[in-house]
Amino acid sequence: MKQDKMALFRPVLTVVAFVWILGAMLALPPLLLAVNEGAHTTRSFVYAAAAFFIIGIWLRSRARQQRFEVSSQQLYLITVASWSVLAVIGAIPLYAAMPQLSFCDAFFESMSGITTTGSTVLTGLDAMPHSLLLWRGLLQWVGGIGIIVISIAILPYLRVGGMRMFSTESSDWSDKTLHHAQEFIQNIGLLYLGLTMLAMGCYWLAGMGWFDAIVHAMTTLSTGGYSTHDASMGYFNDRPLILWFASLFMLLGSLPFSLFVAFMHGKKNALLGDSQVRGFLAFVMILILLFSIERTINSDLDFFRVLTHVAFNVISVISTTGYASDDYTQWGPYAVIIFFYIMFVGGCSGSTAGSMKFFRFQVAFILLRNQLHLMRHPYAVIPSKYNGHVLSDDIVRSIVAFSFYFAFIIAAIALFLSLTGLDFITSLSAAATAVTNVGPGLGDVIGPAGNFSTLPDAAKWILCGGMLIGRLEIMTVIVIFTRTFWRT
């Protein structure tokens, strides 16, 4: 029995050890910046990096993994454990370097970072040591590539929310597929790095300082949304080009990275030939256009200025980035509703974006259309296909279950939040913005002009759970808490 348990957890331990070592390496760039800032932050990052490294090496020696062959049960555990550990790692330097910060706040900020949610409890960002701002950016950047890897290399092999539709082979996860996937994942990593550097250059050309350009590039591509200014991207409102570059790279961050790689390898049709990408881009463009026309008619602003801000804020929310250039909840009651709705859309599968993802809406649309047809023609045989894949019962049930759990988790979290005393709109929008990994909520407290620092600690812990569950496609986390999961 003891032996069995060790065998179960050994691969988990191996990955967790790797995560600690990764944490140590991540702490090095901020450490370099900290050296110029004074003893306080330097000491925090030195101690943190050393501790992470020692813990990692120690765990690695404990794990002693020979062959890397894992069951689906272990894949679930690896995914959830590595993200939880990363959240702890992220919190430690913040907690150490900011004496006024509670551990709850540090953990919230870190979880919000690695899940690329971007809700913040910090104020006074403009005056904050650069090492800490870079650390927040790095957490989101790593969180972004982390979720892409998981959604390409792990989720398709599990029965999570219909992601199986995107698996290249139906075989189980093993050494063979891992090695097969390794090169592919390296390509994606290089692409992610390349796009980030491109964004950096564009931001710099458009007028950002180098440090702002670096951090914002990392939080844009990862659709994370952490900024170096309390005003978020609103700080750059006098430079529309910055907002347009941000819109472009947020949009790129919410497209499927595997199709980018295919595109780079000469498959010219890989992106625009994909139903999800085409549908998503069309939806975003039509929404921006209609919204801009309405805003231009009902305000005294010129069309280009309106278009800049509408495009920026719509893409920011739909890509689940959560930057704000403006308090869009002041645009009118219908704007609040529209921004609330598009929080649930999210980007495409296999991107850094969170939330439901566009393909689930497309599949739901096909199902709903077919159902109406069947009501009138009960014996019709309707072929259900999406993007060239047959919509098998297996995948359909998986997508449906995902949607139900998604709604159920948001409802449950909103209820728990209301029990801590938060009002209706704050509870509901905080739950939604956490699970969808968008960042800002609605209402006076946590709206785009607000901040999460005033929430009670209990609410922050609940939201940490919500962000993690949402980031890992809901059921990956829930399944671990079922009895059947632990039955051998």
Binding residues for K ion, per CB under 5 A? Answer: 118, 225, 320, 322, 439
Q: How far is the CB of 478 from a second copy (least distance, A)?
A: 7
- Could you tell me how far CA 434 lies from the centroid of its own chain? 10
Q: How far is the CB of 210 from a second copy (least distance, A)?
A: 40
Q: What is the 3-state secondary structure (H, E, C) of the chain?
A: CHHHHHHHHHHHHHHHHHHHHHHHHHCHHHHHHHHCCCHHHHHHHHHHHHHHHHHHHHHHHHHCCCCCCCCHHHHHHHHHHHHHHHHHHHHHHHHHHCCCCCHHHHHHHHHHHHCCCCCCCCCCHHHCCHHHHHHHHHHHHHHHHHHHHHHHHCHHHCCCCCHHHHCCCCCCCCHHHHHHHHHHHHHHHHHHHHHHHHHHHHHHHCCCCHHHHHHHHHHHHCCCCCCCCCCHHHHHCCCHHHHHHHHHHHHHHCCCHHHHHHHHCCCCCCCCCCHHHHHHHHHHHHHHHHHHHHHHHCCCCCHHHHHHHHHHHHHHHHCCCCCCCCCHHHCCHHHHHHHHHHCCCCCCCCCCCCCCCHHHHHHHHHHHHHHHHHHHCCCCCCCCEECCEECCHHHHHHHHHHHHHHHHHHHHHHHHHHHCCCCHHHHHHHHHHHHCCCCCCCHHHHCCCCCHHHCCHHHHHHHHHHHHHHHCCCHHHHHHHCHHHHCC
Q: Which is nearer to K ion, 45 or 141 (CB)?
A: 141
Is 224 marked as a binding-site residue?
A: yes
Is 420 marked as a binding-site residue?
A: no
Interface with a second copy includes 283 (CB under 8 A)?
A: no
* Rounded Cα–Cα distance for residues 240 and 7 (Å): 56
Stretch binding a second copy (CB under 8 A), from 23-31, 255-263, 274-282, 477-485 = 477-485
Q: Which is nearer to a second copy, 204 or 405 (CB)?
A: 405
Q: How far is the CB of 441 from K ion (least distance, A)?
A: 12
Q: How far is the CB of 440 from K ion (least distance, A)?
A: 9
Label residues 194-208 b or e (16+ Cβ within 10 Å = b). ebbebbbebbbebeb
- Could you tell me how far CA 279 lies from the centroid of its own chain? 21
Q: How far is the CB of 282 from a second copy (least distance, A)?
A: 19
Contact status, residue 185 vs residue 242, Cβ threshold 8 Å: no
- Choose, by CB under 8 A, the member of 22, 147, 422, 435 that binds a second copy: 422
Interface with a second copy includes 293 (CB under 8 A)?
A: no
Interface with a second copy includes 373 (CB under 8 A)?
A: yes
Q: Which is nearer to a second copy, 230 or 327 (CB)?
A: 327
Stretch binding a second copy (CB under 8 A), from 32-40, 115-123, 335-343, 347-355 = 335-343
- Choose, by CB under 8 A, the member of 10, 69, 73, 281 that binds a second copy: 73
Interface with a second copy includes 289 (CB under 8 A)?
A: no
- Choose, by CB under 8 A, the member of 1, 297, 375, 381 that binds a second copy: 375
From a second copy, K ion, none, which one binds at residue 340 (CB under 5 to 8 Å depending on kind)? a second copy
Q: How far is the CB of 313 from a second copy (least distance, A)?
A: 17
Q: How far is the CB of 316 from K ion (least distance, A)?
A: 9
Is 196 marked as a binding-site residue?
A: no
Is 144 marked as a binding-site residue?
A: no
Among candidates 71, 113, 68, which has minimal Cα distance to 89? 113
Identify the sign of the CA torsion 431, 360, 349, 322.
Answer: negative
- Choose, by CB under 8 A, the member of 126, 169, 175, 423 that binds a second copy: 423
Contact status, residue 216 vs residue 236, Cβ threshold 8 Å: no
Q: Which is nearer to K ion, 31 or 343 (CB)?
A: 343
* Rounded Cα–Cα distance for residues 31 and 25 (Å): 10
- Choose, by CB under 8 A, the member of 132, 270, 428, 459 that binds a second copy: 428
Which x/- pattern, by CB under 8 A, does the window 378-417 give for a second copy?
x--------------x---xx-xx-xxx-xx--x--xx--
Interface with a second copy includes 312 (CB under 8 A)?
A: no
From a second copy, K ion, none, which one binds at residue 25 (CB under 5 to 8 Å depending on kind)? none
- Choose, by CB under 8 A, the member of 102, 205, 341, 457 that binds a second copy: 341
Is 42 marked as a binding-site residue?
A: no
Q: How far is the CB of 333 from a second copy (least distance, A)?
A: 5
Residue 231 burial (C-beta neighbours within 10 Å; 0-12, 13-18, 19+): middle
* Rounded Cα–Cα distance for residues 94 and 110 (Å): 8
Interface with a second copy includes 442 (CB under 8 A)?
A: yes
Q: Which is nearer to a second copy, 150 or 336 (CB)?
A: 336
Interface with a second copy includes 479 (CB under 8 A)?
A: yes
Stretch binding a second copy (CB under 8 A), from 120-128, 236-244, 263-271, 364-372 = 364-372
Interface with a second copy includes 259 (CB under 8 A)?
A: no
Interface with a second copy includes 242 (CB under 8 A)?
A: no
Binding site membership for K(+): which residues?
A: 116-117, 224, 320-321, 437-438
Binding residues: 116-117, 224, 320-321, 437-438
Query: Using CB under 8 A as the criterion, which residues of the chain lie in contact with a second copy when the complex forms?
Result: 72-73, 76, 158-160, 333-334, 336-338, 340-341, 364, 367-368, 371-378, 393, 397-398, 400-401, 403-405, 407-408, 411, 414-415, 418-419, 421-425, 427-428, 442, 475, 478-479, 482, 484-485, 487
